[in-house]
Amino acid sequence: MLFVDLDNFKVINDSLGHDAGDRVLVEAGRRLSRISRSGDTVAASRDEFVLLCRALQDDDDVHFIASRAVRAVARGSCTGQRPHRHRSIGVAVTSDPAAAPGVLLQQADIAMYEAKTAGRTASVSLAQTPARAATNYDFVADICRAIDNRAFFVPLADN
């Protein structure tokens, strides 16, 4: 499963209008549909797209379809004024045909945010394991607790 997010999409709607934003979304959906294979599914919600790929045989197949998705959205989307090229892509892979689709979607979403925080305009990140995601959640919760308990101290610079 590939989770594709058009980064900073709100800027298009705010600066060029919702009609231009709609054209960008339609074009991104068309491009992802064109690179999908028979039996694959493309779905969209707001500025995010999911490409569910069935019957990938190995890591090379995963890399191939992810590379095609990166190139498809990398060409930019025509708004009549300038291209929108910023996107983040997360990939989640399972060999279990009975894997819960919701879990796979969650892992692909986590991987997409991991790619986004890497600060690249196009990134592909393999999904983290649920144990690693739980560890990250626990870490953030610990930091929030420390802030609430005033356990952090920021030294003031002597000026």
Burial class of residue 13 (count of CB atoms within 10 Å of its CB; 0-12, 13-18, 19+): middle
Give the angle subtended at the CA of 100 by the CAs of 97 and 103, to the nearest 5°.
125
- Residue 73's pLDDT is 81
Domains in the chain with CATH codes: 2-148 (3.30.70.270)
Residue with tokens 């708004």: 79
Q: So what's the pLDDT on residue 107?
A: 84
Q: What is the structure's pLDDT at 33?
A: 93
Residues 116, 94: Cα–Cα separation, whole Å: 22
What confidence score (pLDDT) does residue 48 get?
A: 92
Distance CA 109, CA 92 (A): 8
Rounded to an integer, what distance in angstroms lies between the CA atom of residue 110 and that of residue 129? 10
Q: What is the pLDDT along the chain (159 residues), one digit of tens a residue?
A: 889 988 888 888 898 889 988 888 898 899 999 999 888 999 998 889 999 988 787 878 888 888 888 888 876 555 555 555 678 888 888 777 777 788 888 888 888 888 888 776 455 556 655 555 666 667 777 777 777 787 766 666 665
Q: Which residues are catalytic?
A: 47
Amino acid at 136: N
Neighbour-count burial for 30-68, b at 16+ CB within 10 Å, e otherwise = ebbeebbeeebebeeeebbbbbbbeebeeeeebeebbeb
Among 87, 99, 126, CA closest to 110:
126
